[in-house]
Every structure is written in structure tokens, then in C-alpha cells.
Amino acid sequence: MSAYFPGFSASGLLPAVSPDPLPFTLMSNETTKIPVCPVSELGPGERKIIEHEGEYLAVLNCAGQLFGIEDRCSHDDGPLAEGEIDQEACTVECPRHGSLFDLRTGKPKTLPAYQPVKVFPVEVIDDTIILEV
């Protein structure tokens, strides 16, 4: 595993799932909790995109598990979260050029993207989905 680009492993083609801490969580200890929507509004295979301080973020429901990612493909900065969700593989596909991103880690599994996107913790409090940014 490259120490510089945790998205890419030396042996697998693109990426291996890694338990490494995410770059975002290393960068800041201050977090903001953003209510997204009632949990009942986000079924499996669905997504909710929100805007927070000028950035687009998304919560995706993958087979009942909730994942928070930035809504930006690292390849060309276009929107990512509206792409197809593969609930079995736990990936979202960039709708423009087809890179697959692992929702658990934010790492790309296929080119042309080669850098990870940010991921955020998600929790449910009182039936409301909360994104921790």
C-alpha cells in the first residue's frame, strides 16, 4: 500500500479496502452535526444530497447501511452521488466517466479517478439521519 496514496495498493489493481484513518478525520477535530432527513425517507439504494457551507454532501443507503460522502468525483470535480449504487459491492459509480468509489472508504476502485473522496460518519438519532462533518 502506498503511503502517499492510500487509495491505491501495490498488488491489487486499484485499491484495497483499508482500515487507515481517513484524511478528513485527521485534518480537524471540530465537527458539525447536520440533520439530513428522517430515516424513513432514505430506503436501500436511495440517496440524499445536501448543501453545507457551499459544498455538496450526500448520504447513501447501501443495503440498509448509511454512508456519508462528498458529492464530488475526484476525477473532474463533477457530482458523484447521483450515480448508480451497487448495494452488493457497496460502491457508487460516477455518472459521467464511470469510476467506482467504495462508499466505506471513499477510494476509487476503477480509473479514471485515482484519488479518494472524503467520507463522513453518519448516525441516526431519534429517527433522523445525522451527517457528522
What secondary structure does DSSP assign to 38-63, as a single string? EGGG--TT-EEEEEETTEEEEEEEET
Minimum Å gap between C-beta 127 and another protein is 36
The CA distance from 115 to 125, in Å, is: 32
Query: Smaller CB distance to another protein: residue 20 or 51?
Result: 20
The CA distance from 38 to 59, in Å, is: 12
Rounded to an integer, what is the distance from CA 74 to the centroid of its chain? 11
The CA distance from 114 to 41, in Å, is: 32
Query: Smaller CB distance to another protein: residue 79 or 121?
Result: 79
Minimum Å gap between C-beta 87 and another protein is 15
Query: Smaller CB distance to another protein: residue 2 or 28?
Result: 2
Residues that bind another protein (CB under 8 A): 2, 4-5, 8, 10-11, 13-14, 93-100, 109-112, 114-115
The CA distance from 81 to 62, in Å, is: 12
Minimum Å gap between C-beta 5 and another protein is 6
Query: Smaller CB distance to another protein: residue 41 or 55?
Result: 55
Minimum Å gap between C-beta 131 and another protein is 25
What is the number of other CB atoms lying within 10 angstroms of the CB of residue 49?
A: 15
